[in-house]
Structure 1
Amino acid sequence: MAGDLARRRCRTWYAMLLRLYPRPFRERFGEGMAQTFHDLCREHKDAGRGLFVFVVWAFCETFGGIVMENIMRMNQMGKTMLRVALAALALLMVPLVASRVVEGWNWPAGAFVRVYILFFATGMAYALIARKMGAWTYKAGVGLALFGGFALGWSTMVQTADSGHPERLWYLSALAVGVVGALLARLKARGLALTLFAMAATLALIAVMLPSGAPPDMARRMAIGHGVFVVLFIASGLLFRQASLARLK
C-alpha cells in the first residue's frame, strides 16, 4: 500500500515537472513521456526493485531535457540573459568559496545577493550596449567604464561591510551619475564622454570631502584606489570622445 502511494506521488511530481517544457513540446510529447514513466515505475515494482534511484535518474534526465529545450526555443535576448546569468553565478562562486576559507570573511546572505546583481547588471549592460556599436573605441570605452563601475561598487560594498561605516556608500553616487548620464545621453558617444568625466569629478570630490575614518596607511591606500578609479573613468571618457570624433569625420 505504501509502495502504491509512493508511485502515485512520483507520477504526480513527474507530471508537474513535465509542465516546465515549452508548451508545443509538452502538447506533443508530454502524455507519452508521462505514460513511459508510469510503465517504468510499474516494471520496477514487478521486478521488486526500489524506485528511489530510478526516480532520481529520471527526474535529472528530464530536467536536463527541459533546460536544453527551453534554451533552443529562446530568442537571442533570452540566450544572452541566460549566458550572463550563468556567468554571474560562476563568478559568485569566488566570494562564496572565499567566505568559507578566508578567516574573517563573514558576509551576510544579502551581500551575496547584491554582488550577484552587480555581476549580472554589469554583464547585461556590456552585452546590450557594446554589440550595437561597431567602433572599437566605443566598445573599449564601454568595457572600461563598466569595469571601473563594477570595481568601485564592489570595493565600496566590501569596505562598508567590513568597516561598518555606511557613509562610504556615498561613493556609489558616482555610479548613479553614470546611470543617469547614460540615459540622458541615449548611449551616444559624445554624451557618454561627458558622463564619464562627470563621474570622475564626482568621485574625486567625494574622496576629498568625505573623511575616511581609517588609519593613515589605509587612508593612503584608499586615496590611491580612488585615484585609479578617477583615471579609469577619464580614460573611458576619452575613448568615447574619440568614438564621437570618428563619427563626425
Structure 2
Amino acid sequence: MLLRLYPRPFRERFGEGMAQTFHDLCREHRDARRGLFGLALWIFFETSVGIVRENTTHMSQLGKTMLRVALGALAVLMVPLVASQLVEGWNWNAGGFVFVYVLFFGTGMLYAVIARKMGAWAYKAGVGVALVAGFALGWSNMVHVADSENPANLVYYSVLALGGVGAWLARLEARGLARTLFAMAATLALIAVMLPSGAPPYLARNMAILHGVFVALFTASGLLFRHASLAGLK
C-alpha cells in the first residue's frame, strides 16, 4: 500500500523490486522465528522517509520543467508580439495574446509529460512532430475561420478531435498512436479533396501545398511511432 504513495515513475521503475525485497525479508524473519513487528515498524519508517524524499524530488523536477516550458512559451510568444507591431491589420488584444500563450504552454507541457515517460527517441520525435503539426493546424484554421467567417472550415478540428480520441484509446502506446496519426493524415487528405475552397487558383494551389505539408507531418509522426513500436518488440 505504501508503494502507491511514491511518484509513479519511481514506482514503475523500482516498485516490483521493492515489493519482492519486502516479501523476502518477511520470509526470512518467519523462517528464523523472529517477530515481524519490529521489521514492519522499521520498513514503515524507512519507506515513509523515502516517500517524502522521492515526492519532493519529483515536485522539484516538475517545477523546473514547468519553468523551462513557461520561458520557452514566452520566447515563442515574442514572434506574434513583434509581428503585431510590424504587420498591418494584425490587431490582437491582450486576451488574444494570453490565449496564445496558454496554447504554447499547454503544448509544451503536454510534450514534456508524455515524452518523459518514454526513452525511445522515435517516440519522443513522434510526439514532437504530432504536437507541432496539430498546433499549427489548429492555429492556421483558427486564423482562417476568423478571416473568412466560413463555418465549413471548422471541419478541420475533427482531425484534432480524432487525434485526441485516438491517443486516449491507445493509452499513449506507440502502435495505437501510429494508427491514430495515419488516420489523421488520411482524414485531412480526404477533407482537402472534398471540401470546396472557392478560392482563386493561386490561393487554391497554396492551400493544396499546405494540406500536403500537414498530411506529410502527420504521416511522418505515424512512421516514427511505428518505428518505436517495432523497436519495442525486438
TM-score for both structures, normalised by structure 2: 0.70
**d(CA) in 2 for partners of 1:74, 1:177:** 32
Match of 2:155 in 1: 170
Deviations 1:132-163 (A, max 9, x none): 11111111111111121122122112222233
Match of 1:119 among 104, 110, 120: 104
- Superposed displacement of residue 167, structure 1: 2.7
Q: Could you list the runs of 5+ residues in structure 2 that have no partner in the other structure?
A: 1-56
Name the residue aligned to 1:157.
Answer: 142
Identity of aligned residues (%): 76
Inter-CA distance 236–183: structure 2 relative to 1 (3 Å threshold): same
By how many angstroms is 1:222 displaced?
Answer: 0.6
Paired amino acid for 2:72: A
Distance change in 2, residues 1:115/1:213 (3 Å): farther
> Is structure 2 residue 221 aligned with structure 1 residue 236?
yes
1:236 partner SS: helix
Query: What is the deviation of 1:213?
Result: 2.9
1:205 corresponds in structure 2 to: 190
Indicate the structure whose relative CO is greater, using CA pairs within 8 Å and at least 6 residues apart: 2
Distance in structure 2 (CA, Å) of the matches to 1:136 and 1:73 = 22
Question: Which AA in structure 1 matches 2:157?
Answer: L
Q: CA deviation at 1:74?
A: 5.5
Q: CA deviation at 1:178?
A: 0.9
Residues 238, 209 of structure 1: CA spacing in aligned structure 2 closer, same or farther, 3 A cutoff? same
- 1:98-109 paired onto structure 2 within 5 Å: 98-109=83-94
Q: Of residues 206, 212, 222 in structure 2, which corresponds to 1:221? A: 206
Matches within 5 A, 1:58-69: none
Post-superposition, which runs of at least 4 consecutive aligned residues in structure 1 deviate over 4 A? none
Name the residue aligned to 2:116: 131
Match of 1:82 among 64, 67, 76: 67
C-alpha contact (below 8 Å) 1:189/1:243 kept by paired residues: yes
Cα deviation digits, residues 71-111 of structure 1 (max 9, x gap)? x9962222222221222122112112211221121234443
SS state at 1:213 partner = coil
Q: Relative to 1, partners in 2 of residues 1:142 and 1:157: Cα closer, same or farther, differing over 3 Å? A: same
Distance 2:188 2:73 in 1: 26
What is the CA–CA distance in structure 2 between the aligned matches of 1:248 and 1:73, rounded to whole Å?
30
Which residue of structure 1 aligns with residue 43 of structure 2? none
Shift in CA distance, 171/73, structure 1 to aligned 2, threshold 3 Å: closer
Say which SS state the counterpart of residue 75 (structure 1) adopts. helix
Q: Which amino acid aligns with 1:129?
A: I
Task: Provide the C-alpha distance between the structure 2 equivalents of 1:73 and 1:197, rounded to a whole number of angstroms.
Answer: 35
The one-letter code of the counterpart of 1:206 is: I
Write out per-residue CA displacement over residues 146-201 of structure 1, whole angstroms, 9 at most, x where no aligned residue. Answer: 12112212211222223332432321221111111111111100000011011111
Contact 1:115 1:154 in 2 (8 A): no
Larger radius of gyration: 1
State the TM-score, normalized to the length of structure 1.
0.66
2:169 to 169, 181, 184: 184
Alpha-carbon distance in 2 for matches of 1:170, 1:88: 28
Amino acid at match of 1:155: S
> 1:124 & 1:134 partners in 2: Cα distance?
17
Report the more deviating stretch, 184-193 or 164-173.
164-173
